[in-house]
Chains A and B, each alone.
Chain A
Amino acid sequence: MSTVATATDIRPFQIEVDEEQIDDLRRRIATTRWPANELVEDASQGVQLALLQELARYWAEDYDFGRLEARLNAVPQFMTEIDGLDIHFIHVRSEQANALPVIITHGWPGSVIEMLDVIEPLTDPTAYGGDSTDAFDVVIPSIPGYGFSSEPTEVGWDNGRVGQAWAELMRRLGYTRYVAQGGDQGAGVTDGMGRQAPDGLIGVHFNFLGAAPRELLMAALNIRLAWSSDDREQLSKFIGVAKRGYIAEMGEHPQTIGYPLLDSPIGLAAWMLDHDADSYEKISRAFLEGQPSGGLTRDNILDNITLYWVTGTGASTSRLYWEYGRSATAAFKNPPPHVSLPVAYTVFPNELFQAPRHWVKHAYHNLIYYNEAEKGGHFAAWEEPEIFTKELRAAFRPLREGRTS
């Protein structure tokens, strides 16, 4: 049993990946037993064999396995125990005195790797086309069960509980006035924080509409809203998201899909690449045509997949979907409190769906900022770190001290 003093300790952390693990991974990639080619010319049967074989070749032959350690250990990392779990996080303070603290949450199949390239622009704006008044102190935690955070050992770690842990983390870091940001599952966590409205949280920004399903559906279906062809198009995209096999499988039986994700690197890579059509095409071009889109380079993609492999978190990350299914069902019956804090929203044009302003406004009444970015998709921070950074600066500018909104 830890004492209170040790339990709230914040320990510096460095990752170490053992050589044996890498040798084993390389051996597994080399001995992959491949299926036959898909019977179509596109991704309509899933991740294509040619892409995965090139990824496997690059991974085993050209990829530098030292990257993961080098990139993560180059930023200040910490561990602290919250609610019984070790939480891994990156914490970078700006040199600017009036920096606004922001906690940014990754999603699935992401990790803190997605966020590495926004750290400098956010913390050191003057070096990246911004003003010193745009500075942020940045906290980037790994969701429990993801990356180097520990795995929950009991049920109940849904987005809401993660949100509570994040509020405790910010409190523990001494932040009394901060904002939160997230896309994908990170949007769910950030939405949870918005509803809980912990002391100190002054606003949130999303790049994905992760609002409780009931509110989202009501927003989409509300007949009082103008029913444009764009609404219909977005609604059908939104419904398409819910019909995805990976979401159904991870939401229902995370343990079953966990077996391939832990035992087969190619099984893991395939599952992670099969997220959305836009990012798939971009990643495919990076591997097959050597034409990455923004930060979605071969090395960056493999840093993230390698992180999942070495931490062995395929099953534990999937369990978050199972938790989400349970909490979404509960929220549908008993809607949680509204978010009354200021909300900012950025639509990226290649996101799974482009939530129209009135959907967002319906889900979040206190919408202070809404913008359509010029480019970028689901992994916005990863793909377009500069645009993502500009959005965060603009979104949170009205909430900085000494300003009126």
Chain B
Amino acid sequence: MSTVETATEIRTFQVEIAGAQIDDVRRRIATTRWPSKELVDDRSQGVQLATMKALTDYWESDYDFGRVAARLNALPQFMTEIDGVDIHFIHVRSQHENALPLIMTHGWPGSVIELLETVGPLTDPTAHGGQAEDAFHLVLPSLPGYGFSGEPTELGWNVGRVAQAWAELMNRLGYTRYVAQGGDVGAAVTDTMGRQAPEGLLGIHTNLLVTVLAGPPPAESEEERAAAGQLAAFRETGFGYFLEMATRPQTIGYGLLDSPVALAGWMLDHDTDSYYKIAGAFVDGRPTGNLTRDNILDNITLYWLTGTGASAARSYWEDALARAQIVASGKAPPAVSVPVGFTTFPGEIWRTPRSWAEKSYPTLSYFNEVDRGGHFAAWEEPELFTTEVRAAFESLR
């Protein structure tokens, strides 16, 4: 049992990767047993063999396995135990005195790797086309079960519990006025923080409208019908990974822990837009924005080295259970009372119309649709993403 003193301790942290682990993953990649080629010329049967072979060729022969440790260790990283789980986080304080503290949460199949390129622009705006008053103090935690955070060893770590842990983390860092941001699972955590409204939380910004997963949104205007169509297509043809992780995280976990190629295939099979961008980076050498081969492999390598395929998948199981409990209770969760900012990135799974964001968040204070970027907005377009985060929180400073 830790004492209160040690339990709230914040320790510095550095990533260390054993050479034997790298040798092992290289050996596994080299001895991959491949399926035959899919029978179609597109993504409609899943991640294409040519994409996987280009990825593994690069991974095994050209990729520098030292990148993950080098990139993460270039930033101040910490560990602290919250609610029984070690939480890994990056914490970069801006040089600017009046910087606004911001906690940003990654999603699945992401990690803090997705957010690394936004650290400079957000914390040091004057070096990245912004003003001193745009500065943020930045906190980038790894979700429990993801990356270098500990794996929960008991049930109950749904987004609600993560949101509470994040409020405690900000409290522990001494931030009394802060904002929160997230996409994907991170959007669900951030949305939940908005509903819990912990002391000090001034506002939130998300780039995935998670509220529509709870029930069908209106489909009246042309824009709404188009977005509803995208949502329906996702449920009909791109939902397998979601349902499997939400119901059988342990089953899929075996393949994700044991086979690097299985892990890479599962992680690439997220959404149509990002799939083709990533496939383009590997097969044609044409990355979109920062979705480069090295960046993609940093993230996959992080999942491999930390062996978190099953524990990350369990977060879907927890959230499915939590959603079912909310439905069974017949009580809607409390509305978000703090100001909400939302940005629609055009390549996102569904292109959220302003009307949906307004309906989801009565306190919507900022909405914008940008001209490029997809599901991994911060990763793909860090500068544009930064501009949005600055604009969304401008009125809260």
Q: A residues touching B (Cβ–Cβ < 8 Å)?
A: 24, 32-36, 38-40, 45-49, 52, 151-155, 243-246, 248-264, 266-267, 269-271, 274, 312, 314-316, 319, 322
> Which residue, A52, A152, A264, A271, has most C-beta atoms of chain B within 10 A?
A264
Contact with A along B236-250 (1 / 0, CB 8 A): 011111011111111
A155 touches B35 (CB 8 A): no
Give Cα distance in the complex from A244 to B151, angstroms.
Answer: 26
Q: B residues touching A (Cβ–Cβ < 8 Å)?
A: 31-36, 38-40, 45-49, 52, 151-155, 237-241, 243-259, 261-262, 264-266, 269, 307, 309-311, 314, 317
Residues from chain B with Cβ under 8 Å of A252 in the complex: 46, 237-240
Closest to A273 in B: B251
Residues from chain A with Cβ under 8 Å of B152 in the complex: 39
B33 touches A245 (CB 8 A): no
Q: Give the contacting residue for B248; candidates A32, A45, A263; CB below 8 A.
A: A45
Given contacts A36-B151, A152-B39, 14 further A-B contacts (CB under 8 A): A33-B258, A36-B311, A39-B155, A46-B252, A245-B240, A256-B46, A256-B265, A259-B35, A260-B259, A262-B34, A266-B258, A267-B258, A314-B35, A316-B36
Q: Give the contacting residue for A264; candidates B47, B246, B251, B258; CB below 8 A.
A: B258
Q: Give the contacting residue for B255; candidates A152, A260, A312, A319; CB below 8 A.
A: A260
Q: Give the contacting residue for A151; candidates B36, B40, B309; CB below 8 A.
A: B36
Residues from chain A with Cβ under 8 Å of B33 in the complex: 262-263, 312
- How far apart are A379's CB and chain B's nearest CB, in angstroms? 18
Given A258-B35, A312-B35, residue A246 in contact with residue B244 (CB < 8 A): yes
- How far apart are A288's CB and chain B's nearest CB, in angstroms? 16
A selection of 10 A-B contacts at a CB cut-off of 8 Å is A34-B254, A34-B258, A248-B239, A252-B237, A255-B47, A256-B46, A263-B259, A263-B261, A264-B255, A267-B262
A262 touches B311 (CB 8 A): no
Residues from chain A with Cβ under 8 Å of B257 in the complex: 33-35
Q: Give the contacting residue for A45; candidates B35, B240, B314; CB below 8 A.
A: B314
Pick the 9 closest A-B CB pairs, nearest first: A260-B255, A267-B255, A253-B46, A46-B251, A245-B244, A256-B46, A249-B240, A260-B262, A315-B35
> Which residue, A244, A263, A267, A314, has most C-beta atoms of chain B within 10 A?
A263
- How far apart are B274's CB and chain A's nearest CB, in angstroms? 14
Give Cα distance in the complex from A32 to B39, angstroms.
Answer: 30
Give Cα distance in the complex from A114 to B101, angstroms.
Answer: 61
Give Cα distance in the complex from A46 to B250, angstroms.
Answer: 5
Closest to A266 in B: B254
Given A255-B35, A255-B46, residue A38 in contact with residue B244 (CB < 8 A): no
Given A34-B257, A46-B249, residue A262 in contact with residue B35 (CB < 8 A): yes
B32 touches A244 (CB 8 A): no
Give Cα distance in the complex from A263 to B252, angstroms.
Answer: 13
